[in-house]
Chains A and B, each alone.
Chain A
Amino acid sequence: MFTETPIDRRKRLTENVMRIFLLVVTTVMIIPLLLIIGYLLYKAIPILSFEFLFSNPRDNMRAGGIWAPFLGTIYLVVVSLLVSAPIGVFAAVYLNEYARENWFTRITNLAVVNLAGVPSIVHALFGVGAFVLFAGLGESILAASLTLAIMTLPVIIASTTEALKAVPMAFREACWNLGATRWQTIRRIVIPNSISGILTGVILQVSRAAGETAPIMFTGAVFYKAIAEGNLFAYNITEQCMALSLHLFTISTQVPDVTEGTPHGTAIVLVGSVLLVNAAAIVLRVYLRTRKKW
């Protein structure tokens, strides 16, 4: 009665083959990441120190630390997200909660999808034209951050929309039936129950803003600029700054006789910071999900 028929055996074999295949693919995917981090750490360990993080590059960038580019990247990321996160979240709330299906919303949604696919060098050229020249900001942290903001905006809109859509429609209808306005419904029910998804989407854009080189190199990032070491307010946002991604490019390809390990140290700080922020996003999401209310 329970003996295996040929069909059963084939199903069992397929099941095993597929499970192993998927496991192998997943493992193969992780290997490059581990190799990159392992290799960088191996090369960078000798020079990694607080001294490295908190001192400016020296000797025509052949030696010294990465304080100026490190702080510059933080400025660029923070200022760009201060601009793109509120605009992106509010725009997504409008598109998802208020807008009716008409030509305006269709064009807006199309624009969002297409903007997300625009190469970063095109954003860079737009930034030069719009912010550096037309708006007269010059090459500055502000111009570079705005360029990064334009780049991250569509993705924030898309991720926020997904988070809002995850809140069941029945909650909104129940609120409307109780005489609540759309905004009361959004503030009391929709936002509190989608905030984890919204924040995760925003935080994931930190890594993109931190890693991109093209959008900032013509709009505000410079090869070299010395700033007060250890002072968090050493940059003025109307001036230019150094950035980790551009600095890595410079010392890897443009500067001869760089101290062994410096590029790897720069890279590991960049990658490490991004991983740290992403980990924070995961912790936040897990924490907020444990408070999930339905």
Chain B
Amino acid sequence: MDHVAQLLLELGLLFAGLSLVGSLARRLGLSSVPFVLVAALALGEGGVVPLATSEPFIEAAAEIGVVLLLLALGLEFSADELFVSLRHHGPSGLVDLLLNALPGFAAGLLLDLPWQGALALAGVTWISSSGIVARLLGDLGRLANRETPAVLSVLVLEDLAMALFLPLLVVALSGGGPAAAVAGAGLAVGAVTLALLAAQRQGHRLGRLLASADDEQLLLRLVGLTLLVAGLAQSLGASAAVGAFLVGLALPASFAERARAVLGPLRDLFAATFFVAFGLSTDPGAVLPVLPAVLLLALVTTGTKVATGWFAAGRDGVARPGRLRAGTALVARGEFSIVIAGLAVTAGVPELGPLATGYVLVLAVAGPVLTRLAEPSGARSTAGLPEAGNGGRRPPPGRPRTGAETSPGG
């Protein structure tokens, strides 16, 4: 078979398979990330369908996937939201860092990873999946709950912290000493501050420069600018991902809304390719031996995340049930844990691949299940599968909502 035909067939099968896996995940009310990872583990070397021809394409697309993921992350929150979160929940962010990054770092050292690998593992255990959590809150009808601002603030602060953590990690992984790492972090702090200030003062100019009534023009300008900045950042020894994140951050909120809508499908496609590439680069046989360590780490960092949410919601004066809901909602780890692990694997710490894969597989599934259990028993039975199955949009008309509504005294 000729090369092009082979490539197209492989990619066609891949995306069709991803669609099946994704719809299965939605039906179960879970994120598709762990399912895509499992599917990718089954492919590749020694897998059911060897992806020989399309591998170079998948690898290139995966790089773009990371860039688009981070761009979308930067677009997700406005500078105002960052400042407000920092003011109200700065201490929660600090608790989050200490409680969740330290176990990862310690585990990395205990597992004989180099300290750079341990640093990456700290990032893996630290960052909750804002994608999974935000969708979960919507699906469970918790957006109006009193603990929700605390949960979202923790997510925002983590995402902001990523902009500082990633350059630090990249410098560390590239073999720089502590001095280089500090310099890298300093540079990152400067760049993030500059991007935020630029967004506040001059953001509307950048927005006007990129804005176009035509979706195609908008997409080309946005992706063009982002890839340019990302490439530049990469060539300067920072991470391309950070450059993309800064672009997203610097764009004004008025523009971000449309950018999100236009960028969404493209991001989903390339991000899925990134998860596939990560799964492909991981040897499924290497996941099993580290499973006990992964489970133990998942157990510990589930506890620490619950404590984080408990603390953050407590600062808003939320009572015990709400604090438990906040804590369990934050447990899910997902896409950004994989982004961090991906950086480490590419930089020559391959041992992190199976660890992070197993860890995300466990917590991307266990987190949503756990927080459903934190709903009061009357609501639990209906808050689960059917509602999540329709994508968190409007529930079918006439479907009874929660049992608690009709129960006496409820």
Answer yes or no: do A and B interact: no
Residues of A within 8 A of B (CB): none
Residues of B within 8 A of A (CB): none
